[in-house]
């Protein structure tokens, strides 16, 4: 009987952090949320570099600053781990920065600057799930560039900083109209994998605006309508996992970002990639399995 009680106690103590964190957003105290620099893990970093550099074409792109990858291990949410390659390399990111519009819209709704109508809710869903440019442009026009910039540069988030840049939307997803390009490289739609990883990390923990708004954003980002890049591989290897995602493509620029939330704790992570290459779509699609290998290796080490 004592052995049985000890077994139950062991399961409760050591597995509660996993079993108790099945729902998103997570419920972690603000004090436990760390800057991305504090999440950096040397073992995960080394493993990521070794795995990606095995492929000569990827190694070349990385050396030319044309391939950036970031990952956050959420297998134990209270001990999240980050690793990145070219993490602060800002690149043109096409539609991926529409997540900045989503956050700015939710911030405006929360502050009473924008009324939450069925039309706006539908446009936010179309903007993220379908990457609809018309809906995205309508949201930009409702908010204005100044509002989007103010949220991205807000000290609460600091998703865009004067040193490395970050998330930025400074052009409508349509022809015509004024622009508000970011100051470092004059990009209209920009991102770094580090800032996008941070965005998803805060979102998963319910820290974008508040838990309620983070939940709304997660609902909008879940079950993407487009099944390419990361999602095409995840559909095959993890069909039961919940996926929260935004991607982007324009000419040689390919980007993707996803929060993967599997039933098993070992498949819970954030993955972001920015590629400047004609084969970017297939590179991103082929990244998932090596990244999962890196994550599983990190659990053993």
With bands split at pLDDT 50, 70 and 90, how would you rate the model's confidence at 300?
Answer: confident
With bands split at pLDDT 50, 70 and 90, how would you rate the model's confidence at 22?
Answer: confident
Q: Which residue has the higher pLDDT, 2 or 174?
A: 174
> Per-residue pLDDT tens for 209-249?
999 999 999 999 999 999 999 999 999 999 999 999 999 99
> Per-residue pLDDT tens for 72-89?
999 999 999 999 999 999
With bands split at pLDDT 50, 70 and 90, how would you rate the model's confidence at 270?
Answer: very high
3-state secondary structure the chain: CHHHHHHHHHHHHHHHHHHCCCCCCCCCCHHHCCCHHHHECHHHHHHHHHHHCCCHHHHHHHHCCCEEEEEEECCCHHHCEEEEECCCCCEECCCCCHHHHHHHHHHHHHCCCCCCCHHHHHHHHHHHHCCCHHHHHHHHHHHCHHHHHHHHCCCCCCCEECCCEECEECCCCCCCCCCCCCCCCCCCEEECHHHHHHHHHHHHCCCCCCHHHHHHHHHHHECCCCCCCHHHHHHHHCCCCEEEEEEEEECCEEEEEEEEECCCHHHEEEEEEEEECCCHHHHHHCCHHHHHHHHHHHHHC
> Per-residue pLDDT tens for 140-151?
999 999 999 999
The pLDDT of residue 17: 44
**pTM of the predicted protein model:** 0.93
């Amino acid at each position: 009987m004592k052995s049985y009680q000890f077994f139950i106690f062991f399961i409760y103590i050591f597995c509660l952090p996993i079993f108790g964190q099945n729902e998103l957003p997570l419920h972690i105290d603000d004090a436990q949320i760390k800057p991305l620099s504090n999440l950096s893990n040397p073992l995960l970093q080394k493993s990521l570099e070794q795995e990606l550099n095995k492929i000569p074409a990827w190694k070349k792109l990385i050396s030319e600053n044309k391939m950036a990858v970031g990952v956050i291990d959420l297998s134990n949410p209270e001990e999240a781990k980050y690793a990145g390659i070219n993490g602060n390399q800002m690149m043109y990111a096409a539609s991926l920065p529409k997540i900045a519009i989503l956050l700015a819209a939710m911030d405006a709704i929360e502050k009473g600057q924008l009324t939450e109508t069925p039309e706006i809710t539908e446009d936010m869903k179309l903007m993220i799930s379908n990457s609809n440019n018309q809906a995205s442009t309508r949201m930009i026009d409702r908010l204005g560039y100044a509002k989007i910039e103010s949220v991205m540069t807000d000290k609460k988030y600091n998703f865009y900083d004067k040193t490395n840049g970050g998330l930025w939307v400074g052009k409508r997803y349509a022809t015509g109209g004024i622009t508000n390009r970011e100051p470092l490289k004059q990009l209209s739609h920009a991102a770094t994998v580090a800032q996008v990883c941070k965005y998803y990390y805060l979102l998963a923990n319910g820290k974008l605006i508040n838990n309620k708004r983070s939940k709304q954003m997660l609902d909008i980002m879940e079950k993407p309508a487009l099944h390419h890049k990361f999602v095409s591989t995840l559909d095959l290897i993890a069909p039961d996992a919940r996926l929260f995602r935004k991607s982007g493509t324009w000419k040689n620029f390919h980007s993707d970002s996803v929060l993967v939330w599997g039933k098993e704790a070992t498949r819970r992570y954030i993955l972001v990639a920015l590629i400047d290459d004609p084969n970017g779509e297939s590179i991103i699609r082929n990244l998932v399995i090596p990244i999962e290998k890196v994550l599983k290796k990190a659990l053993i080490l």
